[in-house]
């Protein structure tokens, strides 16, 4: 058996299938003998649904940090008056 166990997904027209996740285009891969789709993340294959969950969790954590930072600065401004 030559090559890898993953192959690039193709659309009906023969173009590579790409999924847009948070503004980034990611190429979709399939494992031989399976219909599950994968994306390459940091040189490793990761399931598409798992990748989406990881990205969404990262974004939520960043938003919470931003809200806390803004909340702290607002409290400081209010306490000075």
Please report, for the chain, the start and end positions of each structural domain, with discontinuous segments joined by +: 6-80
**C-alpha to C-alpha distance for 22 and 41, rounded to whole angstroms:** 14
Is the overall model pTM greater than 0.75, yes or no?
Answer: no
pLDDT tens column, 3-58:
689 999 999 999 999 999 888 899 999 998 889 999 998 889 999 999 999 999 99
């Amino acid at each position: 058996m030559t090559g890898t166990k993953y192959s690039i997904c193709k659309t009906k027209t023969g173009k590579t299938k790409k999924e847009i996740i948070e503004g980034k285009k990611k190429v979709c891969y399939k494992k031989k003998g399976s219909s599950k789709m994968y994306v390459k993340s940091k040189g490793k294959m990761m399931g598409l649904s798992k990748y989406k969950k990881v990205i969404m969790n990262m974004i939520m954590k960043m938003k919470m940090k931003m809200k806390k930072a803004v909340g702290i600065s607002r409290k400081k401004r209010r306490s000075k008056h």
